[in-house]
Chains A and B, each alone.
Chain A
């Protein structure tokens, strides 16, 4: 009971916070453009204008297409990054000599902002889907590989020993011990991988000219419609948070709760 009312208060609090924020934003807009006239109204977004842009884009369906295309690319790119990341992590974990050098190399590649892969991708694939997916994969898969490798490396060795004396070896050891034991760290790695993938996707979409949220952002610029730009930016934030908080973090909570963490 008490916990419920506390959670309700928290909800109310955050709604109030955003309401006040939007109100202040509107006031700032009115102050700067109408009353003082120091800003041009096309250069400063306003909440009502963002709402209008949203309704317009929803009515002509461009909003839905942009979200659907970006969503599909995100799913394909992130999915592919997970597969590649896991495969690379297994290679990293194999303990063979060249792999010892591969790890610092990947850590180095990982520091390259993913937008820097865009020119390379365009030269290689042309302005097409493959180029964008490539940028996403380059942005996310090494981060996933490195975190999966560390998830496996940090599995409590005692659990592995205990399982081996009970007859678990090879594939069985992975399936029954190493994978479930490394699961919390793996999911934490996926969360980080997702944030890399989402950023990379937007970088790719901004630079290319296919339908998607990044492209809608550039369309807003071309039309000098700052409200559309603002709307799409807010959507990008919200979708990114939704996948992280609404999906990955829910799985994480479930996995951790089982272990009493």
Chain B
């Protein structure tokens, strides 16, 4: 298996329960996995542990047979906030990871432009970050992450800070790019629609403690359309599952307070 999460738990000092509790999950190369669940279900914590930004309290994570102990360029992460470096131009942002790897400058230039082209921003290569719209920023962040050509791409609610129109457009483009690159992706999202749109498998999680509730393979051909009847059926089924989890965790939180 490509990515193996074995019995991973994580407990933070300031909470009574485990944020992530005893999670087993294996992911094949080239698979697109979506994690959905109520807030507090530990989906972002799980992603951070795969990134190596957090360490599990117990259990292990292996990528390509190697145990994850620290962050690394083989597991690039995209955040809800584009988190571009404001002192660099668009192109310089995309070059960032490649320069860390100390590759040949000519190759870096060419590769960075290739990925900027992929997100349709090559005309904006020399713009400053503050001159871009929110959607454009997230595209640059995507190009910056893809340029590194990591083994796996981690996305933490990459669309949730954008407006609805931008989201729809960007989703289609990301789906196209993914079909071209077939990169292994783990995406955390709170949108079930998004999860069904992208996922080969959708992992639903429950909160307090954060556990995997269900893993649903999405057997829809690509490109997917959100108004197809099969799509709606999947979405409805998963939404109900998630909603009952949201209700339960809300009751718990309110009851506790």
Contact = CB atoms under 8 A, between A and B. Distances in A.
Interface of A: 156, 158-159, 161-169, 172, 176-177, 180-181, 183, 255, 258-261
21 contacts: A159-B85, A163-B100, A164-B52, A164-B71, A165-B52, A165-B154, A166-B73, A166-B76, A166-B97, A167-B71, A167-B101, A180-B85, A181-B85, A183-B87, A258-B87, A259-B87, A259-B129, A260-B128, A260-B129, A260-B131, A261-B130
B128 A165 contact: no
Contact of A165 (B75, B87, B130): B75
A159 B128 CA distance: 16
Interface residues of B, number: 30
A187 to B, nearest CB: 12
B75 A181 contact: no
B100 A176 contact: yes
A177 B83 CA distance: 12
Nearest to A161: B53
Interface in B72-91: 72-73, 75-77, 79, 81, 83, 85-88
A177 B85 contact: yes
Contacts of B52: 164-165
Contacts of A180: 85, 87-88
B51 interface: yes
B148 interface: yes
B128 A258 contact: yes
A168 B100 contact: yes
Contacts of B128: 258-260
Contact of B79 (A158, A172, A176, A183): A158
B148 A166 contact: yes
A167 B73 contact: yes
A166 B86 contact: no
B87 A167 contact: no
Nearest to A184: B87
Nearest to B145: A166
Given A166-B73, A166-B97, A181 B87 contact: yes
B130 A166 contact: no
Contacts of A163: 96, 100
B90 to A, nearest CB: 13
A165 B85 contact: no
Nearest to B70: A169
Given A181-B87, A260-B129, A162 B77 contact: yes
B85 A167 contact: no
Contact of A162 (B79, B130, B131): B79
Contacts of A172: 100
A180 B129 CA distance: 15
A181 B129 CA distance: 14
B86 A260 contact: yes
A167 to B, nearest CB: 3
A168 B88 CA distance: 16
Given A162-B83, A165-B53, A165-B77, A259 B130 contact: yes
Contacts of A165: 51-53, 71-73, 75-77, 154
Nearest to A166: B97
A71 B100 CA distance: 41
Contacts of B72: 165, 167
Contacts of A167: 71-73, 97, 100-101, 148
Minimum-distance CB pairs A-B, first 4:
A260-B130, A167-B73, A166-B97, A165-B77
Most interface-central of A162, A169, A172 (chain B CB within 10 A): A162
A115 B34 CA distance: 65
Most interface-central of B75, B86, B88, B145 (chain A CB within 10 A): B86
A164 B76 CA distance: 9
Contacts of B145: 166
A166 B85 contact: no
B51 to A, nearest CB: 5
Nearest to B141: A162
Given A167-B97, A167-B101, A260-B130, A161 B85 contact: no
Contact of B86 (A164, A168, A176, A259): A259
